[in-house]
Amino acid sequence: SGTALLNSPYKYTAQPGILLHHRLGKLAQQIRLKKKMTSLSLKLLCVMLLILVATQWPGSEAQSCRPSGQIRGKKPPPGQCNTGNDSDCCKEGKMYPVYKCSPTVSGNTEATLTINSFEKGKDGGGPSECDNQYHSDDIPIVALSTGWFNHRSRCHRNITINGNGRSVTAMVVDECDSTMGCDDDHDYQPPCANNIVDASRAVWEALGVPQDSDDWGWMDISWLDA
């Protein structure tokens, strides 16, 4: 009868049970959604950290400046390629990378210091790019890789070179060409690497590097605009 249904103890217990089950289901769904979002956020954070580490890791700047191509070496004609200062000569058929860029310049730019003669008839080849003149090796002068030379923007400007526990100021007078080589203009020497400071004898002497040491002619240094 209607009275019996009204007085039944089971009338109100079924609806709260269904409601509770529904709420628990929604809560579980929200928890799963939050877990997915948390997992996605962690993955995104990991990716961002990897990118940050990659850009700040030592050598990452050098890696970001990639070769723009290659040139094939040619055998120097007789009497070409002055091997003074232990200069290398191009090898027939060998492929050499070329660069249009150099590592980004900072307040402490890492580089390789090499030795070069800026005098006529020596291993430096033709006259200096900045003024079309030859220069004495007794003054502290340098040639910079193409990217650092930057379309002559550093011509006749000074840079400070730090190496061997000392510092020296030198003037930029030439380009160490990273884009070309193995021809008459470059004395049949390979293209310059993209991180070279090619210095006169005076720079090496000012840094106190003995000529009979393993560092003479090839040494890790840092430099900055003076």
Count Cβ atoms below 10 Å from residue 123 Cβ, excluding itself: 18
- The b/e string for 202-225 (b: 16+ C-beta within 10 A; e otherwise) is bbbebbebeeeeeeebebebbbee
Residue located via tokens 């700040």: 56
pLDDT reading at 188 higher than 70: yes
Same structural domain, 218 and 180: yes
- Are 108 and 211 members of one domain? yes
In a domain, residue 149? The reply is yes
The C-alpha atoms of residue 54 and residue 76 are separated, in whole angstroms, by 41
Name the domain count of the chain: 2
Residue 62 lies inside a defined structural domain of this protein: no
| Highest mean pLDDT out of 44-48, 120-124, 204-208 | 204-208
Residue 36 structural domain: 1-57
pLDDT in tens, 109-164: 999 999 999 999 876 678 999 999 999 999 999 999 999 999 999 999 999 999 99
Residue 151 domain-assigned (yes or no): yes
Residues 23 and 80 in one domain: no
Q: Is-contact 154 172, C-beta < 8 A?
A: yes
Highest-confidence segment of 3-17, 34-48, 79-93, 200-214? 200-214
Same structural domain, 162 and 188:
yes
Structure letter (DSSP) for residue 116: -
Single out the residue of 220, 193, 15, 21 nearest to residue 109, CA to CA. Answer: 220
The answer to whether 119 and 137 have CB atoms below 8 angstroms apart is yes
Same domain, 211 and 112: yes
Phi, psi (5° rounding) for residue 188? 55, 35
- Looking at 13, 28, 57, the residue that finishes a domain is 57
Q: Looking at residue 33, what is its pLDDT?
A: 77
CATH number of residue 132's parent domain: 2.40.40.10
* Statement to judge: residues 101 and 155 lie in one domain: yes
Statement to judge: residues 168 and 112 lie in one domain: yes
